[in-house]
Amino acid sequence: MYPGFSASEVLIDGEGSVRGVATRDMGIDKEGNMKDSFERGIELRARQTILSEGCRGSCSEFAIDHFKLREGKDEQTYGLGVKEVWEIPEENCKPGFIQHSLGYPLQSSLSSKTFGGSFLYHMEPNLVLVGLVVGLDYENPHLSPYQEFQRLKHHPDISKHLKGGTCISYGARCLNEGGFHAIPKLTFSGGMLAGCSAGFLNAMKIKGTHTAMKSGMVAAEEIFNSLSSLYSETPTIADSEGMIPEGESNFEVSSYQQAMEDSWVWEELRSVRNFHGGFSSGMLSGMLHAGFTAHLTKGSEPWTFSNKIKDSDRTKPASGCLMCVCVHIFIL
């Protein structure tokens, strides 16, 4: 393990297989010169490389593009989550309390197409975790997820949980929200995708840790089985530097794709496959559709909401949203 050193490059050999990753050079000044603390990046080579960087990792996106893993799949769509942790008086804390919401402040009407919602959790001994997730397929370029989050905290049903408290930490992260239809091909020569690099987020529940962990377990099992079978047939001895011998191309663990499709992860994501797309016509229709598919069809509905448009292409020109920004400022 190399803590503190992020992978910055996917290593491709002459035969087009992934050979591992390289870390970034450290200790370089803003002019690009080496400082006294300079440390050269290193190559980490392997028979199989699992890319599990989370949402839109640079190495994962390179592999998806290089190996054309998204061909025939939906465009991935994203959400931006802004979150704060508050320390409140202990007598006001209700450990285990959970509150999710839709509507305010993103939807000014039931026909609004801005996708997103909030979450609020109480944790021992006296913490409140509050945040807002905004779908990045919104049309109005003047919309600011951070400012919308500030508005959210002034809502009576939110502010009462923060009364007398102090914000002690904050952050933001991106989320994959394309779901089942946007999952790319999972394997390529020399490696595979796992976790949110593959888009294994349940957008309805805003949960992805459990699916990421399962995909890692399945990846490990399939790699172990493949390498065990390979080495039992053609034993390989690495050279004195511990490198992969020349002439031995990496291989594709195709069984990982099928193993994931046979797992409960695939079943769970398929059951909410149309959740995000159901909100494309507005919040009211989205809520009705979400309730219908969550409790009745559970993914077996005969229709499919496909998405072939990137989030950025849905944004309207600023010149066409002057009215939007005026209304926004008035509400603030």
Structure confidence at residue 108 (pLDDT): 64
The pLDDT of residue 249 is 63
CATH number of this structure's domain 78-176: 3.30.9.90
| Domain ranges within the chain, ordered by starting residue | 7-75+182-271, 78-176
Give the burial string for 57-68 (b: 16+ CB within 10 Å, else e): bebbeebbeebe
Residue 172: closest CA among 80, 105, 100, 87: 80
Distance CA(136)–CA(5), nearest Å, equals: 29
Would you say the C-alpha torsion 228, 230, 232, 237 has a positive or negative sign?
negative
Which residues of the chain register pLDDT less than 50?
A: 237-247, 325-332
What lies within 8 Å, CB to CB, of 46 at 6+ separation is 19, 20
Residues 262-282: pLDDT tens digits? 999 999 999 999 988 888 777
With a CB cutoff of 8 Å and minimum separation 6, the contacts of 5 are 23, 24, 26, 41, 42
**Which pTM does this prediction carry?**
0.83
pLDDT, position 64: 97
CATH superfamily label, 7-75+182-271: FAD/NAD(P)-binding domain (3.50.50.60)
Asked whether the domain spanning 78-176 has the same topology as the one spanning 7-75+182-271, the reply is no
